[in-house]
Amino acid sequence: MESFRGSLLISSGGLHDPNFRHTVVLIGEHNQDGALGVVLNRAMDVTVEQIVPPLSALVPPGEALHEGGPVQPEGLVLLAEVTDPELLDLRVFGSIGFLIGDVPEDIGGKVLRARVFAGYSGWGPGQLEAEMDVDSWILEPARVDDVFTDAPDLLWSRVLKRKGPEYQLLSRMPYDPSMN
């Protein structure tokens, strides 16, 4: 089984599930037991400081909390780029991964960038593979700038455009095609 860890899942034009329509998901883990990740392009209208003040020191001032997915939306997920990958509880690629549970107080100087998510995205055994078989998702290797983009609302179309000419039309597809 090929693991999609460290890949982006880009929702295809045929994926109409409102949880994932026009989303870009970073896959953090993928094995025979299933997959999990976070939606990278759904910033919320609240800040990390408003919802979880202790984590606000790890993100830029005024940083939005992001919607990570429909699983455990009341739970918080911390994705970070760190100075040493050994600090990560779940490494995704390079020095980027998840810090799980209580974050050590002395980690601040070791975190280069971080993003906080409400909830995560998850798939049971074989579920993601079945969705891939019906072309619900398009794969692309993740880049650091994708994970920490300053324009999450533009990420879906930008990643599709970089995939090449065959994705140009899809990259311009509106969220609601009936509004076209």
59 three-state secondary structure: coil
In a domain, 113, yes or no: yes
The predicted model scores a pTM of: 0.94
| Helix or strand holding residue 44 (H, E) | strand 43-47
Q: Give residue 176's pLDDT.
A: 60
Closest CA to 148 of 20, 60, 23, 83: 60
In this predicted structure, the answer to whether residue 180 has a pLDDT above a threshold of 60 is: no
Range of the domain at 146: 7-174
| Helix or strand holding residue 27 (H, E) | strand 24-31
Q: What token pair was written down for 20? A: 């994932």
In a domain, 1, yes or no: no
Q: What token pair was written down for 103? A: 């974050």
Q: Give residue 15's pLDDT.
A: 82
In a domain, 179, yes or no: no
In a domain, 180, yes or no: no
In a domain, 123, yes or no: yes
% pLDDT > 70, the chain: 96
What domain count does the chain have?
Answer: 1
Q: What is the CATH number of the domain that holds 70?
A: 3.40.1740.10
Q: How confident is the model at residue 55 (pLDDT cuts 50, 70, 90)?
A: very high
pLDDT digits over 21-54, tens only?
999 999 999 999 999 999 999 999 999 999 999 9
Cβ density class 45-67: b for 16+ within 10 Å, e for less: eebbbeebeebbebbeeebbbbb
Cβ density class 10-36: b for 16+ within 10 Å, e for less: bbbbebeeeebebbbbbbbbbeeeebb
| Helix or strand holding residue 46 (H, E) | strand 43-47
In this predicted structure, the answer to whether residue 123 has a pLDDT above a threshold of 70 is: yes
Q: Give residue 171's pLDDT.
A: 74
**Contact call for residues 38 and 79 (beta carbons, < 8 A):** yes
Mean pLDDT value of segment 13-19:
85
